[in-house]
Amino acid sequence: MMERFTTQTVKPRERGRHWQELICGYYPSVQIDIEDAGSFSGKISTKRLGAMRVTRVDSREQYVRRTRQEILYAREDVLQLNFQVSGEGFVTQDGRECVTTPGTFAVYDSTRPYELRFKDAFEQICFNLPRTYLRQRYGTFDTVTARTISGSSGPGRFLFAFMQQVVVEDEAEQSSFHDRLQEHFSDLLVTAVSQFASQGGNAGPTNRIATLTRVKNIALSQLRNPEIAPESIARAAGVSIRSLHALFDQDETTFCRWLQQTRLMRCKSDIENPNLRARTISDIAFSWGFSDAAHFSRSFRQAFGLTPRECRSGGTRPIARQI
């Protein structure tokens, strides 16, 4: 359910400190400078969807910094997205600065210093996603931080529309539904960022994200095939097997490790889905490309800290470990 907070409930002289506590309570630790504390106001509405946090921020002029000191003190490992609804914002990271205006968004990374500046009243919708989750599925976003990405054309418009609907919904849903929303949002995000990179919006290695996304999308389309192999995926993507392995090496993983993690995540989603309780766990595992029930059970426990049967019975759901 959506939680709502406002600075209007505290005295004007205490609003700056109260705002800092609110933001740092739900997002990575930052420093916030407010010039006119007496007239300052701010409201946030926030909720979790799976491992993703969604927040609507409505506030006034401020300067937000995440320095190396905050990173050392509180090393939250998330990728952050700001969708501009009104006003404008400035994002600085990795030696770049961009401006977000209504209908655009920007990406930034909590593991490196960044600055956010707002010169007047503004409204944003902000998403926090676990960076390890995105790296396992898609790779790195380092080359597209602090760049203005359109939310009104190309794949970005679908991401923007999805984002607005997610924020409007305020119903208690099953956790498995939240996990699927997170997967869908992540798919839309990587598609939008990939097109942005391939069109030259990225001054770094522009083709890497696009190529990695193409490779992963081909593999995802064959995920249920137990005989999927790196060589066939490389041929279908038009890259050499050496290049395919290099794409995953840069993310400190391998194609086979990423493939298994993705299959395990799909299996976990189906196992937790109450509408699929009539299906056996083995049937679900085999439907996602596993061919050995014992191997699947061991891999599942290694990844999630509980057995598939415990997962189905509603056991504790730890964050997935790196395989």
pTM summary value: 0.63
Q: What is the pLDDT of residue 49?
A: 81
| pLDDT tens readout for residues 291-312 | 999 999 999 999 999 999 999 9
Domain ranges, ordered by start, for the chain: 3-174, 248-312
Q: Please spell the DSSP secondary structure of 134-187, one letter per residue.
A: HHHHT---GGGTT--EESSSTHHHHHHHHHHHHHH------HHHHHHHHHHHHH
What CATH class is the domain 3-174?
Answer: mainly beta
d(CA 216, CA 233): 9
Q: With beta carbons less than 8 A apart as the criterion, state whether 189 and 81 touch.
A: yes
Q: What is the pLDDT of residue 40?
A: 92
Angle (CA) 219-224-225 rounded to 5° is: 80
Angle (CA) 134-194-238 rounded to 5° is: 100
Edge-to-edge, what's the strand order for the sheet holding 42-49? 3-6, 42-49, 52-59, 122-130, 78-86, 104-109, 149-150
Angle (CA) 51-263-238 rounded to 5° is: 110
Edge-to-edge, what's the strand order for the sheet holding 31-33? 31-33, 62-66, 114-118, 89-93, 96-100
Which of 204, 207, 197 has the alpha carbon at shortest distance from 95? 204
Helix (H, G, I), strand (E, B) or coil at 269: helix
d(CA 227, CA 186): 26
Q: With beta carbons less than 8 A apart as the criterion, state whether 35 and 79 touch.
A: no
pLDDT < 70 regions, the chain: 75, 136-139, 167-179, 197-207, 209, 315-323
Helix (H, G, I), strand (E, B) or coil at 312: helix
Q: What is the pLDDT of residue 319?
A: 43
